[in-house]
Amino acid sequence: MTDPIRPQPGILDIALYEGGAAHVAGVTDAIKLSSNENPFGPSDRAKDAFQRAVHKLHRYPNTDHAALRQAIGEVHGLDPARIICGVGSDEIIHFLCQAYAGPRDEVVFTEHGFLMYRISALAAGATPVSVRERERTADVDAILAACTRRTKLVFIANPNNPTGTMIGPGEIERLAASLPKQAILVLDGAYAEYVEGYDGGAELIGRRANVFMTRTFSKIYGLGGLRIGWGYGPKAIIDVLNRIRGPFNLSTAQLEAAEAAVRDQDHVDRCRAENTRLRAWLAEALAERGVPSDTSTANFILARFADEAEASACDAFLQGQGLIVRRVAGYGLPHCLRITIGDEASCRRVAHAIGQFKGQK
C-alpha cells in the first residue's frame, strides 16, 4: 500500500526555508540588515492607499488586477496585457515552474542564485541544475553548456542575490539568442530599480518570444510585508500563467497600495540615490577595515571574510552589538556575510562594529 503522507517525488528534497534571524534575544532596538529591505519604507501614498482599503474588507478583490497592471504599464512603458501580478515575485517564479517544468525537465540557475528557483523546480517535480559562476557572476558560456533538450527554464537574477553582481545587456541577449528553443529565459529583476536606467530586460522581451521578467514591490518600494510582485513577458506565457493563478491571489489592500507605490516614482528615485551613496560608502568603509566585497549593483553588499569561521565569528559579534546581517552558507558562500544597505546611522554602526571585530582579533 502506498503511504498517503508521502508527497510527490522531489518535495522531500526541499529543505525547509530558514529565514535569517529577525531578532536578537534581549535586544529591543536591533538593526535588521538581513533581508534587503528598504530602510526608508514605502511611499506615504502607498500607506494611505493601504489604509483606505480597510473600507472594502468585506468585498472580494478584483481578479484581473487591471488597475495595477495599467499603472505598472504606464510607468514602465509596457503593455498591461502582458503583465501578471502575484504574491511577491516568489509566486510568479512558482507559476513559471508549475506551468513549464515537470518530471524529467530541467530548471537551470546559477551557483549562487536565489533559493526559490530550486524550491519551485523541485515542487514542480523538475530537476534543478545549478551552474558554476565566474567570480561570483553569472557565466553565460557555462549556462549554455549546462542546457540540454530537457531545459525548460533558465533563471538569472540581474542583479543577483546574494552576490550583488550583474551581467550586461550584450551577455543577456547572447544567452537569449543561444538557448535551446524549448527554454524560457527568466530575468529576475527583484533589484532592477537599484540600477539607474536599467529596464530589467523589458526591451529585449519586446523583441523575443523566449524571455520573461519578474519584478517585485518588496525591495525598493519598501513593501516586503505586503507581498506583491509582477511578471512581464510574451502574451502567450502570460495567458498560460493566468490559468494557474488563483483568481483572488492578491487582496484589495495589496493591489491598491502597490498601485499608489508604482505611481510615486519620486520615492523610488530618492531611495535609489540614497542606496547608491551609502553602498559606496559602506563598501569603502569595509575595505578599509580589511573586508573586501564585489562591486554591488543592488541594496546590499556581500562582505568576504578569510573563511567560514571568521564569517561566523563576525556574525556572532555583530549580533552581540544588536546588528543582524545574513549568513549565506545556504547559497554556497559560507565565508561571506550579506549586509543590507540601511540608513546612514545603520551603515555607520555596522562599519564601526566590523572594524572593532577586525581590531580585536
- d(CA 33, CA 134) in angstroms, rounded, equals 27
Instruction: Retrieve residue 212's grid coordinates.
Output: 520573461
Task: Tell me the CA distances in angstroms from 260 to 70, 229, 266, 267, one per residue in order.
Answer: 12, 14, 12, 11
36/252 with CB nearer ligand PMP: 36
Instruction: Give me the least distance between CB of 358 and ligand PMP, in Å please.
Output: 28
50/357 with CB nearer ligand PMP: 50
38/89 with CB nearer ligand PMP: 89
339/353 with CB nearer ligand PMP: 339
User: 268-299 b/e with 16+ CB inside 10 Å = b?
Assistant: beebbebbbebbeebbebbeebebebbebbbb
- 224 near ligand PMP, judged by CB under 6 A: yes
Task: Tell me the CA distances in angstroms from 359 to 237, 239, 301, 318, one per residue in order.
Answer: 54, 57, 21, 14
Phi and psi torsions of 83, nearest 5°: -115, 140
- d(CA 242, CA 249) in angstroms, rounded, equals 11
- 164 near ligand PMP, judged by CB under 6 A: no
When binding is defined by CB under 6 A, the residue of 53, 190, 192, 205 that contacts ligand PMP is 190
Task: Specify the stretch interacting with ligand PMP by CB under 6 A; choose among 86-94, 144-152, 267-275, 325-333.
Answer: 86-94
* Half-sphere exposure for 294 (CA within 13 Å, toward CB): 20
Task: Specify the stretch interacting with ligand PMP by CB under 6 A; choose among 71-79, 84-92, 254-262, 301-309.
Answer: 84-92
- 37 near ligand PMP, judged by CB under 6 A: no
- 88 near ligand PMP, judged by CB under 6 A: yes
75/287 with CB nearer ligand PMP: 75
Place of cell 517585485: 216
- d(CA 185, CA 162) in angstroms, rounded, equals 20
Instruction: Give me the least distance between CB of 149 and ligand PMP, in Å please.
Output: 27
- 161 near ligand PMP, judged by CB under 6 A: yes
- d(CA 278, CA 38) in angstroms, rounded, equals 12
Q: What is the DSSP letter of 64?
A: S
- 188 near ligand PMP, judged by CB under 6 A: yes
80/88 with CB nearer ligand PMP: 88
When binding is defined by CB under 6 A, the residue of 157, 286, 311, 354 that contacts ligand PMP is 157
- 216 near ligand PMP, judged by CB under 6 A: yes
Cα 46 from chain centre: 21
- 275 near ligand PMP, judged by CB under 6 A: no
Instruction: Give me the least distance between CB of 223 and ligand PMP, in Å please.
Output: 9
Positions touching ligand PMP (CB under 6 A) are: 36, 88-90, 114, 157, 161, 188, 190, 216, 218, 224, 229
